[in-house]
A and B are shown apart, each in its own frame.
Chain A
């Protein structure tokens, strides 16, 4: 149950796109199409952005998109906005009902 690896921080200017990677193993990210992504603003509850690698819950803008290749999943934020400045976490199923989170990435809007 080792945490998935994410970059500590990424940044971009308003309107630009940023991509956050999430690297695991064949026992988690690579083994299941059950990767989800969460956005968390300071002091707030995590918000689900992406589930099942690419799906967006109702109400989540299509500026947020997910993908996966091998043992690495990615979250892309297009048309970066000031409100997107937050912490982002990936999460993957690791067999049965077990899950593992990523180390988290702070997104800064310049």
Chain B
């Protein structure tokens, strides 16, 4: 059974850093493009970042470009999101999601990041 389990969320001060992780199981991790999607409290879904199968290609939403870095370790079946220079508007539930057929059937349960002083 496919499982995606995020961890690493918490409370951080503005300007601080946080590293999220997503542990994948139940499928061949290296065969899938992986994404991070977030949702601010009471707001809509926002695509954040994507990484290709081997990690050679990475793309980011304009809102996080230059501050967030997505990475993956196919030997450990993990997906990471390093978040630096955090702002209040980065407060959200962060989901990792597995892409297939240009969409996301499998999502993690999400991890909450709160940026507040």
By a beta-carbon cutoff of 8 Å, the part of chain A in contact with chain B is 1, 3, 32, 34, 36, 38, 40, 45-46, 48, 51-52, 55, 57, 87, 89, 91, 93, 96-104
Could you tell me if B59 and A101 are in contact, using CB atoms closer than 8 angstroms?
no
By a beta-carbon cutoff of 8 Å, the part of chain B in contact with chain A is 33, 35, 37, 44-47, 50, 52, 57, 59, 61-62, 95, 99, 101-105, 107-110
Knowing A51-B102, A98-B50 are in contact, say whether A103-B109 is a contact too (CB < 8 A). Answer: no
Knowing A45-B110, A96-B59 are in contact, say whether A101-B47 is a contact too (CB < 8 A). Answer: yes
**Sample (27) of A-B pairs whose CB atoms are under 8 Å apart:** A3-B44, A3-B46, A34-B103, A36-B102, A38-B104, A45-B107, A46-B45, A46-B104, A46-B107, A48-B105, A51-B101, A52-B102, A55-B101, A89-B44, A91-B45, A91-B103, A97-B33, A97-B59, A98-B47, A98-B59, A101-B37, A101-B44, A101-B45, A101-B46, A101-B47, A102-B44, A104-B44
A41–chain B nearest beta-carbon distance, Å:
13
Residues of B within 8 A of A87 (CB): 44
Residues of B within 8 A of A38 (CB): 45, 104
Interface residue from B50, B62, B107 paired with A99 (Cβ < 8 Å): B50
Could you tell me if A103 and B44 are in contact, using CB atoms closer than 8 angstroms?
yes
B11–chain A nearest beta-carbon distance, Å:
20
Could you tell me if B103 and A48 are in contact, using CB atoms closer than 8 angstroms?
yes
Most chain B beta-carbon neighbours within 10 Å: one of A1, A103, A104:
A1
Residues of A within 8 A of B62 (CB): 1
Give the distance in Å from the alpha carbon of A40 to the alpha carbon of B101 in the complex.
20
Residues of A within 8 A of B50 (CB): 97-99
Q: Which residue of A lies closest to B108 (CB)?
A: A45
Residues of B within 8 A of A99 (CB): 35, 47, 50
Residues of B within 8 A of A102 (CB): 44
Residues of A within 8 A of B35 (CB): 99
